[in-house]
Structure 1
Amino acid sequence: MSNEDLAHDFSPMIKVYKDGRVERLAGTDRVPPSTNPENGVQSKDVVISQEPAISARIFIPKTTTDSPQTKLPLLIYFHGGGFSIESPFSPAYHSYVNTLVSEANVVAVSVDYRLVPEHPLPAAYDDSWAAIKWVASHFDGNGSEDWLNRFADFQRVFFAGDSAGANITHNMAVKLGCERLVGVKLVGIVLVHPYFWGTEPVGAELTAPAATKEYMAGVWRFACPSTSGSDDPLLNPAKDPKLGKLGCEEVLVCVAEKDGLKDRGWHYSEILKKSGWNGAVEVIEAKGEGHVFHLFNPICDNAVALKKKIVSFLN
């Protein structure tokens, strides 16, 4: 098939052809849930909703077998991939959340939301909120999922995600701040290389290549055809009047020096401080690294340092 037949080309993520064919260029591999032989973390898959189809992978650390009476912090994780690729079941995300669970000693729910273009935004937001509400339904120990009833401390809940998943994380925390959920206390959120954008350039975006800027804006238009554009409050928190209602006390923003989204992460911390939100925000920057480097090379020094920082934040 020739290039003329392409409707959208967001390589290295996804291509969509004019005949409607969707070609995902990454993130389609899957690994089954398991008991990890190295760290003893157990995982299993759960169905949250049949219609729409929402599922999740739940992880519990080895300590739940050693001291089953202890309640542990609960991490809800949203994967990245431009809203269009990846899942909690892909090797990189399974492995990453598994390690976080082991090192931070937390229970984790990694959410499988529906992907674009088959399910345009706001489907991913709707699914993520449905998953959060499903998790919250276990706060009194009477939910449908035994692991959450037994091991999760709903007064110590965290949201985290990378890239598009960090965008979802932020928007879910705002929604929680506006709507509240009975029995659930969101302590903090972790935004790793968050996908935010806007029509007004910030920082080094002033001199960024036009193609880079078009890609960043284009991914959003592709994911959310009904959008008003790059200043949609879902993509540009500076334009969100509800920003000050962010429903947690602490925010950790992780950026990477060579990531085209880096300045959005720094900018987010600045606008958050001015929004009337009364929590604490911290930004850490990985030198010499690109977008989601920690997933591609999880054992490099910067990735290990990033994970240590997230683990201490969760504790």
Structure 2
Amino acid sequence: MSSSSSAPNQPPEIFVVEECRGVLRVFNDGSILRSTEPSFIMPVEDDGSIEFADAVFDANLNLLLRLYRPRHRLPTDPPKLPIFFYFHGGGFCIGSRTWPNFHNYCLRLAADLRAIIVSPDYRLAPEDRLPAAINDSFASILWLRSQALSPHPNPLLQDGDFSLVFISGDSAGGNIAHHLAVRFGSDLGRAELEPVSIRGFVLLMPFFGGTQRTRSEETCPPDAFLNLEVNDRFWRLAMPVGSTTDDPISNPFGPGGPALREVQFGPMLVVVGGEDLLRDRAVEYAERLKEWGKPVEVINFDGQPHGFFTFQPRSEPANRLMQSIRRFMVENGCHKLD
């Protein structure tokens, strides 16, 4: 017998087969170890101008969201503030509303957009594979409707304008924003949300996939923050067992999904980065929708990598992005800031 062979009755060796940013580890026996610590350590930039609090939106699944609101009104603020959803990224496998990079970005969104920000968590893979996260996002929007109908809404929503709601998402959250646009873009979907009215969708470097490689995927350097190896690992862990990335959960144009040519879409802003592995998929998505007459605008940030606006939130490109989001909101019904 080889010296490397296991001794009789010796427990099999347990080792890591998948690892995500030091936060998630999947072992060969199927067990999973998930850290409670974020993978991105950075200081929280809280100057006290924004108040925030957590609320449960799905008690059965113990899912929470975080609400943000400017603490003090400005003379230029409207009587009621628009409501802006932000779904965090993380490849459907990691991330939380509490992570400092996402928390900082929501603080800035609330301050710069003069809006109430809603930042929901959602179930993560591989413990809960897709479409769990998509279903949770639907539940968070329906929770907002319940607040609009309640005589005693959450205190941070009491001066919110439920007729001026915007949906945004970053990376995996951008994928979620697409599915929300499909679900609630039709007359039937809009009726389901009354009196809540969604005025537009902002897809920030959306996490789309597919089995055929794009040029931006093939040419992505291995040292990029989101490289092909990390991208593929996220999809491997997040997709339903037996599915490929051509499933319409991942690929909006995949077989078996809704015929997007026939879907009613609200106004949409798609943000791409010139150095982002996901760039080509997002551009193709936007261009095809535009060809079908959908109200879609694309903004490209040359030279910018994936997630630049959360990792360098005070950079010049991040400032330009914030201005673009604000302009998009004004074009779709919001009060113009002086």
> TM-score scaled by structure 1?
0.85
In structure 2, what is the equivalent of residue 21 of structure 1?
32
Q: 1:68 to 1:203 in 2, by over 3 A?
A: closer
Residue 24 of structure 2 corresponds to residue 9 of structure 1: no
In structure 1, what is the equivalent of residue 326 of structure 2?
311
In structure 1, what is the equivalent of residue 297 of structure 2?
282
TM-superposed deviation, 1:314: 2.6
The counterpart of 2:84, out of the listed 48, 63, 75, is 75
TM-superposed deviation, 1:97: 0.9
Residue 197 of structure 2 corresponds to residue 189 of structure 1: no
In structure 1, what is the equivalent of residue 98 of structure 2?
89
Of residues 208-217 and 18-27 in structure 1, the stretch that sits farther from structure 2 once superposed is 208-217
How far apart in 2 are the matches of 1:227 and 1:176? 28
Q: 1:8 to 1:94 in 2, by over 3 A?
A: same
TM-superposed deviation, 1:184: 2.0
How far apart in 2 are the matches of 1:201 and 1:186? 33
The counterpart of 2:143, out of the listed 129, 134, 141, is 134
Moved over 6 A (4+): 65-69
Q: 1:141 to 1:71 in 2, by over 3 A?
A: farther
The count of aligned residue pairs is 307
Find the residue that maps to 1:153 and give its secondary structure: strand
Of residues 41-50 and 233-242 in structure 1, the stretch that sits farther from structure 2 once superposed is 233-242
Contact 2:18 2:233 in 1 (8 A): no
Contact 2:185 2:266 in 1 (8 A): no
Contact 2:91 2:234 in 1 (8 A): yes
Rg larger in 1 or in 2?
A: 2
How far apart in 2 are the matches of 1:60 and 1:78? 17
How far apart in 2 are the matches of 1:261 and 1:13? 22
In structure 1, what is the equivalent of residue 8 of structure 2?
none
In structure 2, what is the equivalent of residue 226 of structure 1?
241
How far apart in 2 are the matches of 1:199 and 1:214? 14
- For residues 126-165 of structure 1, what are the structure 2 equivalents within 5 Å? 126-140=135-149, 142=151, 144-148=153-157, 150-165=158-173
TM-superposed deviation, 1:249: 2.7
Task: Give the counterpart letter for 2:47 in structure 1.
Answer: P
TM-superposed deviation, 1:7: 2.2
Compute the RMSD of aligned alpha carbons: 3.1
| Unmatched 5+ stretches in structure 1 | none
In structure 1, what is the equivalent of residue 132 of structure 2?
123
In structure 1, what is the equivalent of residue 213 of structure 2?
201
Contact 2:88 2:97 in 1 (8 A): yes
In structure 2, what is the equivalent of residue 254 of structure 1?
271
What are the superposed Cα offsets for residues 100-143 of structure 1, whole Å, 9 maximum, x if unpaired? 11111111110011222222222211111111100012234535
Task: Give the counterpart letter for 2:163 in structure 1.
Answer: Q
Of residues 183-192 and 132-141 in structure 1, the stretch that sits farther from structure 2 once superposed is 132-141
More helix by share: 1
Task: Give the counterpart letter for 2:16 in structure 1.
Answer: L
